[in-house]
Amino acid sequence: MMNDPVFHFSKAFIFLGIAVTGAGILLLALGKIPWIGKLPGDFSFHRGNFSFYFPLMTCFLISVLLTLVFNLFKRS
């Protein structure tokens, strides 16, 4: 049973489902934090009907936090 390719494929689908669910919950939670997306270093440009928004500092902060979390799991 452990060498069956369907077994490994089903485990990958279960992990993918958990990861997508976790990402959805995280996105819902990030919408409730008032300063996410409004940090200094987040660029927004508005002119007429065109608007451009690039959350550079928010991306940097999330990247640093995820790196710290993944490094904690890696060392355990």
Contact 36, 30 (CB under 8 A): yes
Quickly tell me which residue has 């355990």 as its tokens: 76
**pLDDT at residue 32 above 60?**
yes
**Distance between CA atoms of residues 66 and 59, nearest Å:** 10
- The string of pLDDT tens digits covering residues 63-74 is 998 899 888 877
Q: What is the mean pLDDT of residues 8-30?
A: 85
DSSP-assigned letter for residue 39? S
Map residue 7 onto helix, strand or coil.
helix
Domain boundaries, the chain: 1-32, 34-76
**Distance between CA atoms of residues 64 and 23, nearest Å:** 17
pTM (2 decimals)?
0.55
What average pLDDT is seen over the chain? 84
Q: What is the mean pLDDT of residues 22-35?
A: 80
